[in-house]
């Protein structure tokens, strides 16, 4: 099995970090754009797509700054993370996504994130 590598995607977004964080860290927010249904119990989120369920635990989070998830089926050192940064030059909010994929799958995985983020921006009114 080939080891997955981390990759980073950045998206400028026109909304406050507080509003964006709600969409990245709560079941109601994530259900708006990330999965068909999202439930959370004891820091473990259940994500449902077309009847298929996958679970991820929250490893770390800081309000209005970042949240890091670990898929329960994935190796311990892999995670996906939503980070909210501010551009020092433009003062614009930047959504940074860190995820893992096999080298040959990074392009496809990045495209999938792009589609999902587009849905998020639609919900945010961007």
pLDDT in tens, 76-116: 999 999 999 998 888 899 999 999 999 999 999 999 999 99
Q: What per-residue confidence (pLDDT) applies to 90?
A: 86
Q: What per-residue confidence (pLDDT) applies to 96?
A: 98
Q: Given pLDDT bands bounded at 50, 70 and 90, which one contains residue 2?
A: low
Q: What is the DSSP letter of 4?
A: P
How far apart, in whole angstroms, are the C-alpha atoms of residue 40 and residue 122? 24
CA-CA-CA-CA torsion sign (65, 84, 111, 25): positive
Which residues lie below 8 Å from residue 77, measured CB to CB, with a gap of 6+?
Answer: none
Q: What per-residue confidence (pLDDT) applies to 53?
A: 96
The separation between CA 67 and the C-alpha centre of its own chain, rounded to angstroms, equals 8
Both tokens of 77, joined, read 């050192």
Tell me the pLDDT of the chain averaged across its residues: 95
Q: Judge whether residue 18 has pLDDT over 70.
A: yes
Q: Judge whether residue 3 has pLDDT over 90.
A: no
pLDDT in tens, 31-63: 999 999 999 999 999 999 999 999 999 999 999
Q: What per-residue confidence (pLDDT) applies to 89?
A: 87
Q: Judge whether residue 1 has pLDDT over 60.
A: no
């Amino acid at each position: 099995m080939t080891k997955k590598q981390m990759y980073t995607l950045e998206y400028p977004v026109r909304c406050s970090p507080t509003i964006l964080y709600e969409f990245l860290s709560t079941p109601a927010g994530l259900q708006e754009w990330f999965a068909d249904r999202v439930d959370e119990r004891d820091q473990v989120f259940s994500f449902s797509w077309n009847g298929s369920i996958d679970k991820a635990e929250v490893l770390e989070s800081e309000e209005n700054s970042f949240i890091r998830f670990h898929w329960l089926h994935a190796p311990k050192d892999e995670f996906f993370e939503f980070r909210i940064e501010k551009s020092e030059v433009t003062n614009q909010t930047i959504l940074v996504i860190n995820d893992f994929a096999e080298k040959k799958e990074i392009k496809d995985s990045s495209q999938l994130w792009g589609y999902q983020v587009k849905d998020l921006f639609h919900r945010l009114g961007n």
